[in-house]
Amino acid sequence: MSRILVVEDDPILGRGLKLSLELDGHQVNWARDLRTGSAANANEAFELVILDLGLPDGSGLSLCSSLRDAGSRIPIIILTAKTDEDSVVAGLTAGANDYVRKPFGQKELLARVRTALRAPLLREDQIRFGEVLLLKGQRKVMHQEREIDLNRREFDIFALLVDRAEQVVTRDQILNALDKNGEILDRTLDSHLSHIRKKFRSAGVQTIQISSVYGVGYRLEKK
């Protein structure tokens, strides 16, 4: 049994989703607006979110983005009545794993739910910070569906900063965590960080930055 959060304002569709998911063996929390859905997510641990885009108090995209910005890897399936491709792209860019256009069949949605819940290892490998997606298992950093080409050491350093995002990471902490065989020298660390920043600028990353904290270390943060 999985705990699923459904955020859907339509009472008929919401009740139908709740009933179908419960009959399929899941425990469902149904929220009818963005505020209630956000509060439920803050207070409980869910394994899947089914999220409508058009909610009475805002766009479901804001909840999707906030989950990913906080480092959550929970699978998210978005529901949208919109037929334009831009809505789907916006949802996937915000970090959704899948989408279903209304109207849809209950069997189709249940199949997508089962697929999303069957891939826990893949979800654990994904961390989104701002506009950048870190795929740990594949050792890739993605921006707008394009890979930022980091070498082995650059990837290791950036992954460590992502794990401790918004915190100051000292030079010693980086060296102790990554320099197992004397391959990173203190004087080369600045060079690695400089290369990462340059590659991010070239890729068009604009909303996050690696800041130097004088005499201490570095901090990955949002601009």
Just give the CATH number of 126-222. 1.10.10.10
CA distance 141 to 56: 35
**What does the pLDDT look like over 143-194, one tens digit per residue?**
876 889 999 999 999 999 999 999 999 998 998 888 665 566 667 888 999 9
Ordered by start, the domain boundaries in the chain are 3-123, 126-222
Instruction: Provide the pLDDT for residue 184.
Output: 62
**What does the pLDDT look like over 79-134, one tens digit per residue?**
987 666 777 788 888 888 888 888 888 899 999 999 888 865 445 566 778 888 88
Instruction: Provide the pLDDT for residue 102.
Output: 85
Instruction: Provide the pLDDT for residue 121.
Output: 47
Of 98, 42, 46, 89, give the one whose Cα is nearest residue 70: 42
**What does the pLDDT look like over 3-35, one tens digit per residue?**
899 999 999 999 999 999 999 999 999 999 999
Rounded average pLDDT over 49-72: 86
Residue 70 pLDDT grade (very low, low, confident, very high; cuts 50, 70, 90): low
Just give the CATH number of 3-123. 3.40.50.2300
Residue 178's contacts (CB-CB under 8 Å, 6 or more residues apart) are: 153, 156, 157, 160, 184
Query: Is pTM, for the whole model, over 0.75?
Result: no
